[in-house]
Structure 1
Amino acid sequence: MTTVWATGIFSERTIRKARLGSGLVMFVFIILHMSNHALGLVSLTAADDARRLFLAIWRNPLGTLLFYGSVLVHMTLVLRGLYMRRSLVMPKNEMAQIVLGLLIPLLLIDHVIGTRIVHALYSYTDNYETIVRTLWINSPQNGVRQTFALLAVWIHGCIGIHFWLRYRPWYDNSSSLLLAIAILLPVLALLGFVEMGRTLSDPSYIESESGHYEETINTRYYNDPEAREKIATIRAGLYGSFSAALALVILARARRRLKERANQVAVHYPGGETVRVPRGFTVLEASRLGGLPHYSVCGGKGQCSTCRVQILSDYWTLPPPDKLEQTTLKRINAAADVRLACQLRPDKDLTVAPLLVPQTEAALPANSQETSPGREREIAVLFCDMRHFTTLTETRLPFDVVFLLNRYFGIVGKAVEQAGGRLDKFIGDGAMALFGLNTTPEEACRQAVAAATAIVAEVEKLAAELSDELPLPLQIVIGIHAGPAVVGTMGYGRVRSLTAVGDTVNVASRLETAAKDLNAAIVISEPVAMRAGIDPETVESCEINVRGRALPLKVYVIPRENAAVPLKEKQ
């Protein structure tokens, strides 16, 4: 039964958005803060002038509420996420993000107290001269601590940004630039801090009158025992609150684990392995706990289908998928017995078979890396094949067949590349091409249709050229489909290449077969036609049964006599 927690304002999707939004607010804060530090390379005065703009943004009531509210929300959700994890066995990057996130409050509480809190309570002047003097001259050990804090915050934030953006189509092309910025900004900030520290420690540096005045005000704070006692109480309260919250999460996890030991389910795998886990664990957590390799490109957030499993036992008796899982399964047209391992929490024993199985390192040849599961993307896939190829070549010499194939492959490759696609592979006399690896799904469909039209036209020219030498006319059939597919480097040993797998690829291949059955040049699925802007009134359509799909698929049939596909103009 679906609960309010799963569907309402506190759904997992809403909580994930709140965690992302609060994290982005803090990330913007640290970017501006480090940029302000970097101005210390210019001068102490330049950094302090920029500080006033920084404070105008964040020390007004709205900025204060936004920033500290984000800190509170983010920390609360991090602790909640730590509690919700049934297993602490996870990839190293996820572990690094969690550990850094828990260290950040311990590293920054003193800095927050020494700046914002004492300023708000006692009008302490926390300008760059005061803070840098404290961290560089008076207490250099705190300066080292703040350096570690800055790096911890920045690395934690960058990992989170990477997890958020890694499925965006443009991210691969921009990742090098973003990495350079991610390295350069903290380096400049630390160099700015060093330069300001060297300036203040220079005997020739002469303080301004305002500097003397601010130092007098700050000295009054330092000499006030009551103020220092109050600040010590606040410090103990903040450290104690965070430690108590963390201890509460640990105790709650321990209590739940003790309670669940008497209420476990067994997850059986095709290799004979059995992993017993407490009821409430996901299948993905069971695989990780049992040390079994199991793909999960999105980190177990239900945003991809690489962890999907086929249920080999009574799948209809399992808890139904929630809205997030339903959306992902619907996108890949999954069968009823296919579930996402990261979302399925079995309430009884079951048997599963992971549908994307990674190889173990021992099974790979020396000096090779494990093949990548890739990323799920919206792409267009084109399959083409030469009709009656066996009849055309059975009386030809082998070198004549090679000549014919090379001419044909040249036509296909040139058309695909000029349209903006990527030729994936040749399979006998057939070929597979991918579109949309670096563009939008709409543009990918237009590119695929353009490539298909060009291939048919050029093959007709080749057929006319070779008509006297071939026993049958040279004909090509093409099928195009669009949808989600896993795109990544796959293969074995040194024989690896970028390719795509998934239901979208299978359907495109079967549309090519349908083109043969319909005696058509090109068969295009309805999703391709809609995204490419094909005028439905000018193209014949029909519904066909595609093997492996429960429902008929509407397709558009382009006849051999007129293979020019009519596209609407871009709006």
Structure 2
Amino acid sequence: MHRPPDHRETRRTTDGQHARLPGWLRRIGIRQVRMFTGLVMFAYLLSHFLNHALGNISPEALEAGVLWHLEIWQFLPVAILFYGSVTIHAGLGLWALYQRRQFRWRTIEPLQLVLGLSVPLLIYSHVIGLRLSNVLYGIDKLYPQVLYAYWVASPSYRIWLMVTVMLVAWVHGCIGLALWLRIKPAFRKAMPWLLVLAVLIPTLALLGFYEGGRDVIRVATDPAWQDANLSIKQMGTLHQQQTLDWIGDAFVLGYLGLIALALIARAIRGLIERRGGMIRLTYGGDRTVRVPKGMSVLEASLRHNIPHASVCGGRARCSTCRIRVIGDVAELPPPTSREAFVLGSVGAADDPTIRLACQLRPTHDLTFLPVFPPRNVAAARQAARASRIGDERYLVSMFVDLRGSTQLAETRLPFDTVFIVNRFLGAVSRAVIACGGQPNQFVGDGVLALFGLSDTPREACRNAIRAAAAVAASVDELNELIGHDLGEPIRFGVGIHGGVAILGEIGYRDHMVFTALGDSVNVAARLQDMTKTLGCETLLSDETRATAGIAADLLPTQQAELRGRAEPMLVCPIAQSRDLATALDRSEAMLA
């Protein structure tokens, strides 16, 4: 009897094969090849733009710059690398057009694809007129000949076509760089400077192109200049130009044919998939959809508008789209090399029930549970209208901090770490809002929440204490959802203190934020930090306990030395934050 293949063994074999490869080689996939070839092309474009910018200095500087440019890019190994990168990058663009089943992604990604596919159509005449003419006929065109062709001999639309080429290629490259660098730690700090360069470089290049054109227009009627720059050796013959035009027309037809072929292949694939049968995907028993065989689970979610976590957009750069398969896994296709690498990075390589939704393309009915629930975007609660900037009022500050975030980042992909931290901050914020507070500042993996913007001091203290218990319950729910993928449950620390604070906006110009300032806020932060030393989840000042109306015998107290304070402070260390809800209930019963 035929036994279905056991993909547990397949995964072990695949992982073993990849384990024998160097780490850097196991990381290489289509995306890495696309990025490398794109970087090569962007380096060429940057060199070209900087050369154009020399036109702002003088025609002589422009001429000197192009000689260095050609010296680098016509060096045989570099030329092979460049033209190979152009060919591979264009081919991968056509492959992306064929492969992607759903285009309802973030706007920037289809825009990048469209811009990338349009570059060859915009630039082919420039490449054929300069490079191919030199290879076939030895025509040696430099800046004088190119500028003459655009600014004197050709219709004006050719100038605008060249400007469009430059901008489209530059924007396409900048989008690719931004998508690549956005997860790098230094990108946020460098982003303003990179934006300046992204605007300044093409601006200077276009101005240099314009200045060079003006210089050529001024001397174009000079017979001596024409004899020196418009010879047959430099411009070619009519027959040669006709041949180059024919090659250009053939390229356009061929390239458009390839795009049409990719679109036709998409249609044929869809027809084959529909005729090949439909399968049912069941989302944990909540919803079932029918999709063609071979469609990835994430694509199915997008097609049917089912929220599905995917921080990287389905490109196997993170593991937030992970699913846990329910039932037999023997009929699942084995993981791709990229999927195996990502699962290995998060410690899920040995669990055959864990798969990436963006990579898994089932051919049989499948029931699964998403490991990470989709992020819910909660509406931010505005500060109470009764509070005005500059007011002094009694506020309760609550700091909540995620424990072990450094170790979390060391053992996970960057996208996964960001996703988990955001889930934690969301769980804390929901608890704070439910108890009448306002999440005010997010600092790294911590939250500052304010209570009392429109409440009495007693209500503010009780709401903050109840929020600490609610945070514990909310984090417990989060641990139930993702705890099995973390190795250990999420832990946290809470510091609570009340006192008079000033409401105000701090920052600079357009970067102002509304917050509270005062010693009570600083004390709450130090109490949160002291929870690590005292080994408790929540540490609130005894003053806050008393203002909340909780009897002294309901909570433990002790003296604590706080950094920056001359005298010890009486605090209430709470080992389990959920116990605060019991203390509040008992205090209310005593008052009744």
The code of the aligned residue for 2:161 comes to: R
Q: Deviations over 1:264-302 (max 9, x none)?
A: 222223584433222111111111111223232222121
In the alignment, does 2:268 pair up with 1:255? yes
> Of the candidates 257, 264, 270, which is equivalent to residue 244 of structure 1?
257
In the alignment, does 2:249 pair up with 1:216? no
Q: Distance in 2 between matches of 1:338 and 1:440?
A: 21
The code of the aligned residue for 1:294 comes to: H
Q: Distance in 2 between matches of 1:511 and 1:187?
A: 50
By how many angstroms is 1:219 displaced? 7.7
Does the 8 A contact of 2:14 with 2:337 survive in 1?
no
Specify the SS of the correspondent of 2:280: strand
Does the 8 A contact of 1:125 with 1:214 survive in 2?
no
In the alignment, does 2:62 pair up with 1:47? yes
Q: Distance in 2 between matches of 1:191 and 1:235?
A: 28
Does the 8 A contact of 1:332 with 1:484 survive in 2?
no
Q: Distance in 2 between matches of 1:331 and 1:74?
A: 28
The code of the aligned residue for 1:123 comes to: G
- What is the match of residue 233 of structure 1? 246
The code of the aligned residue for 1:486 comes to: I
- What are the within-5 Å matches in structure 2 for residues 61-140 of structure 1? 61-137=76-152, 138-140=154-156
Q: Distance in 2 between matches of 1:200 and 1:161?
A: 35
- What are the within-5 Å matches in structure 2 for residues 238-387 of structure 1? 238-262=251-275, 263-270=277-284, 272-315=286-329, 317-334=331-348, 337-358=353-374, 364=379
Q: Distance in 1 between matches of 2:189 and 2:205?
A: 26
Does the 8 A contact of 2:140 with 2:235 survive in 1?
no
Specify the SS of the correspondent of 1:177: helix
In the alignment, does 2:402 pair up with 1:432? yes
Q: Distance in 2 between matches of 1:177 and 1:271?
A: 49
- What is the match of residue 170 of structure 1? 186
By how many angstroms is 1:136 displaced? 2.7
Q: Distance in 1 between matches of 2:281 and 2:306?
A: 12
Q: Distance in 2 between matches of 1:201 and 1:76?
A: 39
The code of the aligned residue for 2:47 comes to: L
Q: Deviations over 1:396-447 (max 9, x none)?
A: xxxxxx9xx99xx9xxxxxxxxxxxxxxx43xxxx5356659x9959xxxxx
Instruction: Point out the more displaced range, 12-21 or 135-144.
Output: 12-21
Q: Distance in 2 between matches of 1:367 and 1:69?
A: 55
Matched residues, number? 417
Q: Deviations over 1:214-259 (max 9, x none)?
A: 212268624x33x133112211221122122222212211111111
The code of the aligned residue for 2:171 comes to: I
Specify the SS of the correspondent of 1:507: coil
The 1:359–1:305 alpha-carbon spacing in structure 2 relative to 1, beyond 3 Å, is: closer
Specify the SS of the correspondent of 1:261: helix
- What is the match of residue 58 of structure 1? 73
Does the 8 A contact of 2:145 with 2:234 survive in 1?
no
Q: Distance in 2 between matches of 1:217 and 1:258?
A: 55
Q: Distance in 2 between matches of 1:237 and 1:5?
A: 44
Does the 8 A contact of 1:313 with 1:351 survive in 2?
yes
Q: Distance in 1 between matches of 2:352 and 2:303?
A: 26
The 1:110–1:346 alpha-carbon spacing in structure 2 relative to 1, beyond 3 Å, is: same
- What is the match of residue 507 of structure 1? 488
Query: Structure 1: any 5+ residue segments left out of the alignment?
Result: 369-401, 410-424, 443-481, 513-519, 524-571
State the TM-score, normalizing by the size of structure 1.
Answer: 0.64
Specify the SS of the correspondent of 2:402: strand
Does the 8 A contact of 1:40 with 1:193 survive in 2?
yes
Does the 8 A contact of 1:129 with 1:200 survive in 2?
yes
The 1:144–1:360 alpha-carbon spacing in structure 2 relative to 1, beyond 3 Å, is: farther
> Of the candidates 196, 199, 203, which is equivalent to residue 212 of structure 2?
196
Q: Distance in 1 between matches of 2:317 and 2:138?
A: 48
- What is the match of residue 439 of structure 2? 495
Does the 8 A contact of 1:104 with 1:152 survive in 2?
yes
CA-based RMSD of the aligned residues comes to: 4.0
The 1:107–1:41 alpha-carbon spacing in structure 2 relative to 1, beyond 3 Å, is: same
Does the 8 A contact of 1:331 with 1:484 survive in 2?
no
The code of the aligned residue for 2:288 comes to: T
Specify the SS of the correspondent of 1:277: strand
The 1:313–1:29 alpha-carbon spacing in structure 2 relative to 1, beyond 3 Å, is: same
Q: Percent same amino acid at aligned positions? A: 33
By how many angstroms is 1:162 displaced? 1.9
- What is the match of residue 154 of structure 1? 170
By how many angstroms is 1:304 displaced? 0.7
Q: Distance in 2 between matches of 1:440 and 1:355?
A: 18
- What are the within-5 Å matches in structure 2 for residues 392-471 of structure 1? 425-426=399-400, 431-433=401-403, 441=410
Instruction: Point out the more displaced range, 64-73 or 314-323.
Output: 314-323
Q: Distance in 2 between matches of 1:172 and 1:251?
A: 41
Specify the SS of the correspondent of 2:28: helix
By how many angstroms is 1:176 displaced? 2.1
Q: Deviations over 1:94-139 (max 9, x none)?
A: 1111111110111011111111112222333322222123223333
Q: Deviations over 1:69-109 (max 9, x none)?
A: 11111112222232222333322111111111110111011
- What is the match of residue 46 of structure 2? 31
> Of the candidates 414, 417, 420, which is equivalent to residue 486 of structure 1?
420
Does the 8 A contact of 1:283 with 1:342 survive in 2?
yes
By how many angstroms is 1:485 displaced? 6.7
- What is the match of residue 200 of structure 2? 184
The 1:221–1:366 alpha-carbon spacing in structure 2 relative to 1, beyond 3 Å, is: farther
Does the 8 A contact of 2:402 with 2:491 survive in 1?
no
Q: Deviations over 1:42-82 (max 9, x none)?
A: 11221121000001111232232121111111112222232
Specify the SS of the correspondent of 2:231: helix
Q: Distance in 2 between matches of 1:367 and 1:100?
A: 40
Instruction: Point out the more displaced range, 44-53 or 176-185.
Output: 176-185
Specify the SS of the correspondent of 1:255: helix
Q: Distance in 1 between matches of 2:261 and 2:46?
A: 32
Q: Distance in 2 between matches of 1:48 and 1:207?
A: 19
Q: Distance in 2 between matches of 1:124 and 1:331?
A: 54
In the alignment, does 2:157 pair up with 1:141? yes
By how many angstroms is 1:511 displaced? 11
By how many angstroms is 1:169 displaced? 2.1
- What is the match of residue 536 of structure 1? none
By how many angstroms is 1:359 displaced? 5.3
Q: Deviations over 1:299-319 (max 9, x none)?
A: 212121121223344445433
Does the 8 A contact of 2:52 with 2:209 survive in 1?
yes
Q: Distance in 1 between matches of 2:315 and 2:125?
A: 34
By how many angstroms is 1:320 displaced? 3.5
Specify the SS of the correspondent of 2:281: strand
